[in-house]
A and B are shown apart, each in its own frame.
Chain A
Amino acid sequence: MGRYVLRRLLQMIPVFIGATLLIFLMVRALPGDPVAGLFGERAADPAVVAQLREEYGLDEPLWKQYLLYMQGILTLDFGQTFSGREVTDVLAQAFPVTVRLALVAFAFEIVIGIAVGLVAGLRRGTVFDGTVLAATLVVISIPIFVIGFVMQFIVGIKLGILSPTVSAQAPWKDLLLPGVVLGSLSVAYVMRLTRTAVAENLRADYVRTATAKGLPRQRVVTVHLLRNSLIPVVTFLGYDLGALMGGAIVTERIFNVPGVGFTIVRAIGLRESVTVVSFVTILVIVYLLANLIVDLLYAVLDPRIRYA
Chain B
Amino acid sequence: MSADVLDSGEGRPVPAGDALLQVRDLQVEFRTRDGVAKAVNGVSLDVHAGRTLAVLGESGSGKSVTAQAVMGILDSPPGFVTGGQVLFEGTDLLQLSSRQMQRFRGERIAMVFQDALSALNPVYSVGFQIAEMFRVHLGTSRREGMAKALELMERVRIPAAKERLKNYPHQFSGGMRQRIMIAIALALDPQVLIADEPTTALDVTVQAQIMALLADLQRESGMGLILITHDLGVVADVADDIVVMYAGKVVERAPVHDIYADPAHPYTEGLLASIPRVDRKGQDLAAIKGLPPNLTRLPSGCPFHPRCPYRRDDPCTTEEPPLYEVSSERGSACHFWDEVVGGDHRAKW
Contacts and interface: CB of A to CB of B under 8 A. Distances in A.
Given A203-B75, A214-B137, A304-B170, A208 B119 contact: yes
A209 B120 contact: yes
Contacts of A219: 136
A303 B119 CA distance: 16
Interface string B93-110: 000001000111111001
Chain A contact residues: over half helix, strand or loop, or mixed?
A: helix
A125 to B, nearest CB: 9
B132 A215 contact: yes
B71 interface: yes
Contact of A213 (B75, B115, B118, B132): B132
B283 to A, nearest CB: 41
Contact of B113 (A209, A215, A216, A302): A209
Contacts of B181: 209
Contact of A216 (B102, B120, B168): B102
A303 B104 CA distance: 32
A282 interface: no
B106 A213 contact: yes
B137 A205 contact: no
B170 A212 contact: no
B111 A212 contact: yes
Interface in B89-148: 98, 102-107, 110-111, 113, 115, 118-124, 132-133, 136-137
A211 B136 CA distance: 12
B102 A224 contact: no
Contacts of A206: 118-122
Nearest to A202: B75
A303 B75 CA distance: 28
B184 interface: yes
A195 to B, nearest CB: 18
B294 interface: no
Given A208-B73, A304-B170, A307-B171, A214 B102 contact: yes
Interface in A186-216: 203-206, 208-216
B218 to A, nearest CB: 19
A228 interface: yes
A212 B71 contact: yes
Contacts of A301: 123
B102 A228 contact: no
Contacts of B133: 213-214
Interface residues of B, number: 30
Interface in B148-173: 168, 170-171
A215 B73 contact: no
A216 B168 CA distance: 23
Interface residues on A, range: 20 to 34
Contacts of B105: 211-214
A222 to B, nearest CB: 12
A212 B106 contact: yes
Which of B75, B123, B132, B171 gathers the greatest number of chain A CB atoms within 10 Å? B123
Given A205-B115, A307-B168, A212 B123 contact: no
A302 B103 CA distance: 30
Given A212-B73, A214-B137, A205 B119 contact: yes
B156 to A, nearest CB: 16
Contacts of A302: 122-123
B121 A210 contact: yes
A230 to B, nearest CB: 10
Interface string B36-75: 0000000000000000000000000000000000010101
A204 B73 contact: no
Nearest to A231: B123
Contact of B121 (A211, A216, A224): A224
Contacts of B75: 203
Contacts of A227: 121, 123-124
B136 A215 contact: yes
CB-CB nearest 10 A-B residue pairs: A214-B106, A214-B105, A205-B118, A206-B121, A205-B119, A212-B111, A303-B168, A209-B119, A213-B106, A211-B73
Given A204-B118, A206-B121, 10 more contacts: A205-B118, A206-B120, A208-B113, A209-B113, A212-B105, A212-B110, A301-B123, A303-B170, A304-B122, A307-B168
27 contacts: A205-B119, A208-B73, A209-B113, A209-B119, A209-B121, A209-B181, A209-B184, A211-B73, A211-B105, A212-B71, A212-B106, A213-B132, A213-B136, A214-B104, A214-B133, A214-B137, A215-B106, A215-B136, A217-B98, A227-B121, A228-B121, A301-B123, A302-B122, A303-B122, A304-B122, A307-B168, A307-B171
Interface of B: 71, 73, 75, 98, 102-107, 110-111, 113, 115, 118-124, 132-133, 136-137, 168, 170-171, 181, 184
